[in-house]
Amino acid sequence: MTKPDTADNENTDAPPERLDFVRQIVADDCTSGKWDGRVVTRFPPEPNGYLHIGHAKSICLNFGIAAEFGGACHLRFDDTNPVAEEEEYVHSIQQDVRWLGWDWGEHLYFASDYFGQLYEWAVQLVEAGKAYVDDQSAEQVSANRGTLTSPGTDSPYRDRSVEENLDLLTRMKAGEFPDGSRVLRAKIDMASPNVLLRDPVMYRIMHTPHHRTGDAWCIYATYDWAHGQSDSIERVTNSICTLEFENHRPLYDWYLDALGVYHPQQTEFARLNLTYTIMSKRKLLRLVEERLVSGWDDPRLPTIQGLRRRGYTPVAIREFCKTVGVAKFNSTIDVALLEHCLRQDLNKHSPRRMAVLDPIKVVIDNYPEAQVEQLDAINNPEDPSAGTRQTPFSREFYIEREDFMEDPPRKFFRLTPGREVRLRYAYFITCTDVVKDADGNVVELHCTYDPATRGGDSPDGRKVKGTLHWVSAAEAIPAEVRLYDHLFTTEDPEDVAEGEDFTANLNPDSLVTLTGCMLEPSLAAAEPGSRYQFERKGYFCVDPDSAADKPIFNRTVTLKDTWAKLKKKGKTH
């Protein structure tokens, strides 16, 4: 039996060779003593969906920096919107961060723990004349915000007295008013060129229970009001976020300065985009809810759980994030690079096995009928310490249907009538006869073997061009094998005709299920989650739904490395 991959969670990553611009900022801060030598980062997901490969980039950056600079990285749930958030997501996010190999230690936080402090600060702004209760509807607020080229219009309630604002805010909190009837807004500048500074909403009324605070609150902080202050409360030094928050920074600065509290440094980097991949949580949710995929852990999804079920390793994902690096401009990364990083890791660690996915039976006419031989097979040519195993060989076995052609083209070097080929680790065989059914389909092949070629070597130096994998028929384990391809047919799934959406680009062949595949018997004990290379066929892993009486394997990735090819030709960066 093969060991499952126990090294999965050991994270001994070295920092990237050259400091990226975010790490350079942290390094400079350490040199200048800006934060008294402290380095505190955080990963702040909203618990409204499952994490995906884009989040992995942010996780590796934040936890990586903390690890490299001897600091801490907080896991904080930005759980300010009770409508979309659920405990299920809180749980899965923690599981995924750990699986990726990171540890927040004691630093697990929730923005909802700060609701009381945030409210006190809101009162402070009201008392300072810097926030007011607005009775306009959401539509009116948004209509009066103006446009990028024209200033907004002051709310008729903008100049309420401090006393009136305090009274209304207290009553909002006490639950006196219905949803949407009032909001608390910061009093900044309705003519600011930055639309986000035009009196942004701080609190909205929502009589909705929260997954952690229950019915305690019926007003909820907006993300923008909660986010920067949460970083401040946690005394984060470097608030690292994606580029779309660049124009939120002046607002976060305004809040922190108006309150006169601790002020972290925000730095923005470009989010990860991948070809053939959708990353928005809202769209992933749609795929799950409309059952266009089997669930959040569908192996075709870019979710961490999907990648995991597909057979990805944490090492491969971390290596990918490191290779991609961080930059200040948006770009789309070729998914072939992710697959390349995966193959590099799987190649080193995956035991090799033989499995025939589309079997055709072969009978060796001159092989003794009841004989079974145990032949030595190498477990991993990349790792001599993996040793060898024994695999049975007998008179009847399976090969891939595509490895035989009755009437082959010139460059076909595999089995064909009259031709000798090698069976890996076994013998040279020559095809002597082809059995067909009434419709002319090949159903069985007859061969002869040369007993002198045991182990797959010829004593007289005779050469053969083809080497085939095979599985002995009597001992073979029938299995289901699921072949996955990109979920979308187009590099950019959003590239659609008018009136269509990204689902129009779903790949109808993204999952092909093969039944009646034949595996070598050593795979009988394969544990769910364990990974193998099926010789000549790709990397595969055991699905969690697999059972002894119904083994299921997922194809993680094929052997063909298109990225390595491009790299050779100098077509990658």
Residues that bind ligand ATP (CB under 6 A): 44-46, 54-55, 57-58, 241-242, 271-272, 279-282
* DSSP code of residue 441: -
CB of 84 to ligand ATP, least distance (A): 9
Asked if 283 is an active-site residue, the reply is: no
CB of 355 to ligand ATP, least distance (A): 35
Give 231 or 561: the residue with its C-beta nearer to ligand ATP: 231
Residue 335 and residue 274 in contact, taking contact as beta carbons nearer than 8 Å: yes
Alpha-carbon span 486 to 509, nearest angstrom:
9
Burial class from Cβ neighbours inside 10 Å (0-12, 13-18, 19+) for residue 262 reads middle
CB of 102 to ligand ATP, least distance (A): 13
CB of 212 to ligand ATP, least distance (A): 16
Within 8 A by CB and 6+ apart from 254, the residues are: 186, 188, 197
> Which of 42, 281, 352, 389 is labelled catalytic?
281
Residue 429 and residue 364 in contact, taking contact as beta carbons nearer than 8 Å: yes
CB of 334 to ligand ATP, least distance (A): 15
**Phi, psi for residue 278 in degrees, rounded to 5:** -105, 135
Comparing CA positions, the residue from 379, 403, 381 lying closest to residue 391 is 379
> Which of 34, 38, 98, 271 is labelled catalytic?
271
CB of 59 to ligand ATP, least distance (A): 8
Which tokens belong to 10?
A: 């050991």
* DSSP code of residue 193: S
Give 290 or 498: the residue with its C-beta nearer to ligand ATP: 290
Half-sphere exposure of 405 (CA within 13 A, CB side): 10
Residue 503 and residue 292 in contact, taking contact as beta carbons nearer than 8 Å: yes
Asked if 271 is an active-site residue, the reply is: yes
* DSSP code of residue 175: T
Residue 307 and residue 274 in contact, taking contact as beta carbons nearer than 8 Å: no
Give 5 or 297: the residue with its C-beta nearer to ligand ATP: 297
Within 8 A by CB and 6+ apart from 71, the residues are: 38, 39, 40, 41, 65, 237
CB of 241 to ligand ATP, least distance (A): 5
CB of 50 to ligand ATP, least distance (A): 10
Give 272 or 517: the residue with its C-beta nearer to ligand ATP: 272
**Beta strands 388-394; 428-436: pairing state:** unpaired
Give 144 or 242: the residue with its C-beta nearer to ligand ATP: 242
Strands (E), 284-402: 331-333, 352-353, 355-356, 359-364, 372-378, 388-394, 396-400
Cβ-closest position to ligand ATP: 54
Give 272 or 431: the residue with its C-beta nearer to ligand ATP: 272
Which tokens belong to 274?
A: 């991948």
Give 58 or 229: the residue with its C-beta nearer to ligand ATP: 58
Asked if 500 is an active-site residue, the reply is: no
Give 44 or 538: the residue with its C-beta nearer to ligand ATP: 44
**Phi, psi for residue 533 in degrees, rounded to 5:** -100, 125
> Which of 42, 46, 310, 420 is labelled catalytic?
46
User: What is the chain's alpha carbon radius of gyration, rounded to the nearest angstrom?
Assistant: 31
Alpha-carbon span 277 to 5, nearest angstrom:
27
Alpha-carbon span 503 to 377, nearest angstrom:
45
The set of catalytic residues is: 46, 271, 281
